[in-house]
Amino acid sequence: MRNIRLTIQYDGTDYLGWQKQAGTDRTIQTITEKALKQILQEPVRLTAAGRTDSGVHAAAQVANFKTNNPISLAKLQYGLNSLLPDDIKVVSAKNAAPDFHSRYHAREKTYQYTILNRPYPDVFIRKHVYHYGIAKLDLSRMRAAARLLVGRHDFTSFRATGATRSRSNVRMIKRIGIAQKGDLIIIQVTGEGFLYKMVRGIVGTLIEIGRGRFPVSSICRILDARKRTSAGPTAPASGLCLLRVRY
Amino acid sequence: MRNIRLTIQYDGTDYLGWQKQAGTDRTIQTITEKALKQILQEPVRLTAAGRTDSGVHAAAQVANFKTNNPISLAKLQYGLNSLLPDDIKVVSAKNAAPDFHSRYHAREKTYQYTILNRPYPDVFIRKHVYHYGIAKLDLSRMRAAARLLVGRHDFTSFRATGATRSRSNVRMIKRIGIAQKGDLIIIQVTGEGFLYKMVRGIVGTLIEIGRGRFPVSSICRILDARKRTSAGPTAPASGLCLLRVRY
């Protein structure tokens, strides 16, 4: 059986996230599986590296599926892109090793969060950033706080409740990069895996620190507290994008 | 009386262009004048540097209006941005000289046209580029052709019919820059003024040359012909943006 690996790009604005859900067709998985079924003439099950939440984007989600259909990869990609809506596109289709699993074999994922930090919004990127115009954020404070988050920690305080509980809330953050590009603040968080809405909890907290409402050192207190209420708010989905998955 | 100069940014996707039209509210002018009226409590008439067409964007349209209202510029900008929809925003509001006229006094305008030249589209910028995936465009051919367009010429062949006839079809193109950024081809055309859909006619022709269907020298023949049918097609509105107006 063939194991095919797709790299998928999507604008999550109008979707309820990656994962299939009962009662709605507005998920990336549902729509992509439907297009695959139409091309392959058989139902297939897509497994993705990360189940992005409602409204979250992906520049390079990785998903794999198995099929016996001998279709060429070029035809598959072209066919999918013809059937898929404007806000979901396949960037590449490749043959993978028979045992390749897009989630279990992911070594690290990088999420990118983009903040537009100026008084007025930008019409062109309005759906792909979080417009934060209330105060100027202090990048050196945010960077110092980010450094305290890198490493293996219990991230309970940054994890939204409501989703299925993980066995452990300990996760490893490998790197956090914070760059400035004009009025944009671009935060890249790399880790092996993340808890539910964890990146957005981290960004919401870094914003509180950047605007001076929390001290830089509050990160230590927040990590220790293991309580969601000790951290900052969950930053909006619009600014978040699954940037890269490494295997 | 105060003469106020606004710099306005808009995503033209959902609009019928800048200019007010009978029978529709979906123009940038109509919606912005409506917001101004609500703030100033009097009707005002906005004059713009360039009347962008249906679907065309602006990064920095300049428009002025007269009022006796003593409102501060900061309040005006903030109030407008609160009332305006997500796809129209005021980047700046400034006092202008009493005789300042955004159209008559414009010394030069720069339009930017963005082509995404790869087989599959990009979901994030899909509304702000022209996705051209049929063939790889040859930039050196396009640049050579662009050089032949710079200067003062009769641009009848690049001008769409249908709009009000100008007295003369002679226009001066000061510069055409063609840059590559990954899979993007970014064409900037600077001139004193342009005929109806002239930039899109130029881009459509440069694409024909870039893909090898027209020779570079065809520009001379097309300019001489003074017939719209001699040039390439009008490139789609989605890729065009009024980038800058100089006074």
Please name the member of B59, B78, B120 whose beta carbon is closest to the beta carbon of A90: B120
pLDDT tens per residue, chain A (247 residues)? 999 999 999 999 999 999 999 999 999 999 999 999 999 999 999 999 999 999 999 999 999 999 999 999 999 999 999 999 999 999 999 999 999 999 999 999 999 999 999 999 999 999 999 999 999 999 999 999 999 999 999 999 999 876 556 679 999 999 999 999 999 999 999 999 999 999 999 999 999 999 999 999 999 999 999 999 999 999 999 999 999 999 9
Output the pLDDT for position B163: 59
Contact B119 A90 (CB under 8 A): no
Query: Is B53 known to be catalytic?
Result: yes
Residue B164 has pLDDT above 70, yes or no: no
- Identify residue A64 by its one-letter amino acid code: N
Q: Find, among A200, A86, A210, A184, the residue nearest to A126 by Cα.
A: A184
Residues B80, A14, A206, A213, CA torsion sign:
positive
Catalytic residue among B11, B14, B25, B53: B53
The answer to whether the CB atoms of B86 and A10 lie below 8 A apart is no
- Say how far apart CA B15 and CA B17 lie, in whole Å: 5
Q: With a cut of 90, say whether residue B171 has pLDDT above it.
A: yes
pLDDT at A6: 98
- Look at residue B142 in the predicted model and tell me its pLDDT: 98
Q: How far apart are the CA of A239 and the nearest CA of chain B, in angstroms?
A: 12
The pLDDT value recorded for residue A167 is: 79
**Chain A residues touching residue B124 (CB < 8 angstroms):** 9, 11, 57, 59, 128
Q: Which pLDDT score is estimated for B239?
A: 98
pLDDT tens profile B84-102: 999 999 999 999 999 999 9
Task: List CB contacts of A39: < 8 A, sequence separation 6 or more.
Answer: A71, A76, A79, A80, A83
Q: Is the pLDDT of residue B242 over 70?
A: yes
| Nearest C-alpha in A relative to B238 | A124
For residue A113, report the phi and psi dihedrals to the nearest 5 degrees: -120, 130
Domains and CATH numbers, chain B: 2-96 (3.30.70.580), 108-246 (3.30.70.660)
pLDDT of residue A163: 59
Give the C-alpha distances (Å, rounded to integers) separating B147 from A179, B3, B151, B164, B174: 38, 39, 9, 29, 10
Encode B19-40: b = buried (16+ Cβ within 10 Å), e = exposed: ebeeeeeebbbbbbbebbeebb
This model's pTM is above 0.90? yes
Phi, psi for residue A88 in degrees, rounded to 5: -135, 125
Q: Is there a contact between A120 and B90 if contact means CB atoms under 8 Å apart?
A: yes
Q: Given a cut of 80, is residue B67 above it in pLDDT?
A: yes
Q: Which two tokens stand for residue A135?
A: 């105060």
A chain contacts of residue B126, beta-carbon cutoff 8 Å = 11, 86-87
Q: Are A120 and B57 a contacting pair at CB < 8 A? A: no
Q: Do A87 and B11 touch (CB under 8 A)?
A: no
Asked if A158 contacts A165 with a C-beta cutoff of 8 angstroms, the reply is no
Is residue B30 within a helix (H) or strand (E), and if so which, with residue range? helix B28-40
Report the SS3 class of residue A33.
helix
Number of Cα atoms under 13 Å in the Cβ half of residue B240: 24
Q: Which residue in B81, B88, B123 is closest to A88 by CB distance?
A: B123
Q: Which residues of A lie inside 8 Å of B (Cβ-Cβ)?
A: 9-11, 57, 59, 77-78, 81, 86-91, 119-124, 126, 128
pLDDT at residue B167 in the model:
79
Report residue A122 CA to chain centroid gap.
Answer: 22
Which residues lie across from B178 on neighbouring strands? B187
Q: Tell me whether residues B87 and A122 touch, CB distance under 8 A.
A: no
Its ipTM equals 0.91
Token look-up 């009332």 returns B83
Rounded Cα–Cα distance for residues B204 and B221 (Å): 16
pLDDT tier for residue B69 given thresholds of 50, 70 and 90: very high
Nearest C-alpha in B relative to A78: B120
Length of chain A: 247
For the packed helices A28-40 and A73-83, what is the interaxial angle rounded to 10 degrees? 120
Tens of pLDDT, residue by residue over B41-66, are 999 999 999 999 999 999 999 999 99
